[in-house]
């Protein structure tokens, strides 16, 4: 029975229970990622957090070091066979990976240009970057996740900042992870954040949102229900438009049947 569960598992299960189980089955690359898409998003976000760690330490972000970190996390490491990559088009693995390298670099340059600007740096003190939080629910379930970037302005207002790509689901209003991060932060610091900022990497704009007790309660109830469903082996396909982008599309559709002539 599940006692500790990562927020990513909760999100995956909400998106599609079958995808959740297929991800568990197909973990690749030293058991860190379950698809190359996931690796891209995770490593890109790690590099963005690295940029903010630099600002926290030096009041400055060195673009050369950021490029090197991205090269380490994405370009050099993780040579895995193309069958394991779960790409939409496995015939062009090399081309896809190269394109993603450049996409990632463009994004990092954009983030650096905006958040590494001295005027922007002066406005915020970075308090915390990418540290774990835990939320205990009903004594026997623990939700684990990471607080992204916590920053404070001159008036001591706390803002939580995180980044999203269009490949990721959920709108800002309904994003359960935002509610859990807000709750996790309050438990971690015994303080209440003023608001939450989401920078949409693809749309190149920030959106602001807030979370209150009702949002926290809905998130906790949802986690509880998801854990019950997982413990009961619920495993249905949630067919929708998201299937087009699902890395397990072909695995999911292959149910072992062979076509035969009538
Ligand atoms: S293809 Fe659709 S139904 Fe199948 S696992 Fe992916 S999201 Fe779920």
Tens of pLDDT along the chain (262 residues) come to 768 999 989 999 999 999 999 888 876 554 466 667 777 888 899 999 999 999 999 998 999 999 999 988 876 555 455 445 555 444 566 677 778 888 899 999 999 999 988 888 888 999 999 999 999 987 789 999 999 999 999 999 999 999 987 656 556 778 899 999 999 999 999 999 999 999 988 788 888 999 999 999 999 999 999 999 999 999 999 998 888 878 788 788 876 555 555 5
DSSP annotation of 34? S
DSSP annotation of 255? -
What tokens does 171 get? 């709108």
Q: Given the CA of residue 239, which atom of ligand 1 is nearest to it?
A: 3
Cα of 252 from ligand 1 centre, angstroms = 6
State residue 197 phi and psi, 5-degree precision: -110, 130
Cα 3 to Cα 227: distance, rounded to the nearest angstrom: 9
What tokens does 248 get? 């397990």
Cα 239 to Cα 18: distance, rounded to the nearest angstrom: 10
pTM: predicted TM-score of the whole model, two decimal places = 0.85
Q: Given the CA of residue 246, which atom of ligand 1 is nearest to it?
A: 6
Best mutation site among 240, 248, 250 for ligand 1, i.e. most ligand atoms within 8 A of its Cβ? 248
> Which residue segments constitute the domains of the chain, with CATH numbers given?
4-253 (3.90.320)
């Amino acid at each position: 029975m599940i006692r500790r569960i990562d927020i990513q598992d909760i999100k995956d299960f909400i998106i599609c229970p079958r995808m959740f189980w297929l991800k568990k089955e197909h973990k690749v690359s030293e058991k860190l990622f379950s698809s190359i898409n996931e690796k891209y998003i995770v490593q890109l976000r790690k590099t963005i957090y690295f940029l903010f760690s630099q600002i926290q330490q030096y009041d400055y972000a060195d673009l050369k070091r950021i490029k090197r970190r991205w090269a380490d996390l994405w370009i050099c490491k993780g040579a895995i066979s193309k069958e394991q990559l779960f790409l939409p088009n496995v015939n062009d693995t090399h081309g896809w990976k190269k394109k993603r390298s450049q996409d990632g670099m463009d994004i990092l340059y954009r983030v650096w240009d905006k958040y590494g600007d001295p005027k922007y740096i002066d406005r915020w003190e970075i308090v915390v970057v990418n540290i774990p939080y835990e939320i205990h629910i009903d004594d026997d379930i623990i939700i684990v996740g990471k607080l992204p970037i916590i920053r404070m302005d001159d008036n001591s207002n706390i803002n939580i900042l995180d980044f999203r790509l269009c490949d990721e689901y959920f709108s800002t209003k309904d994003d359960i992870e935002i509610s859990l991060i807000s709750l996790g932060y309050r438990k971690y610091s015994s303080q209440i954040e003023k608001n939450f900022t989401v920078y949409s990497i693809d749309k190149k704009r920030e959106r602001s949102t807030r979370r209150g007790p009702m949002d926290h309660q809905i998130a906790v109830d949802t986690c509880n229900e998801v854990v019950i469903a997982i413990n009961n082996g619920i495993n249905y396909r949630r067919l929708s438009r998201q299937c087009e982008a699902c890395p397990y599309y072909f695995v999911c559709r292959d149910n072992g049947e062979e076509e035969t002539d009538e």
